[in-house]
Structure 1
Amino acid sequence: MQELPKKYGNGDRKGESRTCVSFIKHLSELSTEKTPRYRMTEKEYNKCVDLYADNLFRFIVKNLGHTEDARDVVQNAFEILWKHCQEVSFEKGKSYLFTVGYHNMIDHVRKVKRITLVDNFKEDSSIADTNVHNAREVMEKALARLSEVQRSLILLKDYEGYSYEEIGMIMELNPSQVKVYLHRARLHLKDYFVKIQNVI
């Protein structure tokens, strides 16, 4: 196979986090389930890069709030897929990448203290600032106020279009939990938008 695309580096593959490693065997078993031919070809791997790299980066950076850290997480996810591409089918490529990326992100958050977590979020005194009228900025401010789990649920369901079952696999939740937590997350967003409207 050719080298890993330069866009996501060509690391030594020693960066697999403990959380990620614990999922690899499980994911590999899932990838072979009801799938006779499961080896991902070089062409399919490169197609995964083209199809899912930007989506995965967008998901990770919205959670971390730090571009370089997000790039590291995405790079690591693709390196893990590259290393295990003969155990993962192309059809399972997206869910595999998002699962590994999500759990790698969790480990990254625990290790890198400079990442701004929701628990340390400071009230924005300039909420009535003219910038708040920008829809994108309003949404980013709203997402920043959610917990890590709630934010991930919103991004996976409403931005990426995953099913409850797929989200459950990625985040280790059952479908019922996904629905309940997602409902609570949406209520938090709704409350925030109501407050914004009242201020404006």
Structure 2
Amino acid sequence: MPKELNDNICEDKVFERVYNKYSQDLLNFLYYKYGSQINPNDVTQDAFIKLWDNCKNVTLSKAKSFLFTVANNMMLNEIKHQKVVLKYHQEKPKNYTNESPEFILEKEQFLQRYQKVLENLNEEQRIAFLLNKVEGKKHSEIAELLDVTQKVVEYRIYSAFNTLKKELEGFKIK
């Protein structure tokens, strides 16, 4: 018994003895109880890491019990996690919308008309308009990019907007 008081698991040689003595038994226990689906090698190593992290709190006589309890709990937690993952995969995502078929059709038709009107804009208007409304660039940034004045950029965007408004009923932009 006095020897046990001097044996501190935090010492490398003592920990190595514990590892050599219990690692194969722990691995076999986990493999026999849970199979190889959840890797028992990893759990065995993790259990020894937890022992090392808690070496000051675990005595040498309680090391085996600590290892087996920790490893068993880790396996049970992993099984619970796998059940949650499986349940999540079994749930079917909703494949419906609250939009009516008429609305979806109108939206597609509007998008086609919008694209045609954009194609019919002259190149300067289209570029300025898309840089501003799609990419969110400021008028000054567009002017610098296109090497024109800011007033020219404003005019191009304004004229593109007016064309879109004329060609598309109900077209509003922020």
TM-score (norm 1): 0.36
TM-score (norm 2): 0.41
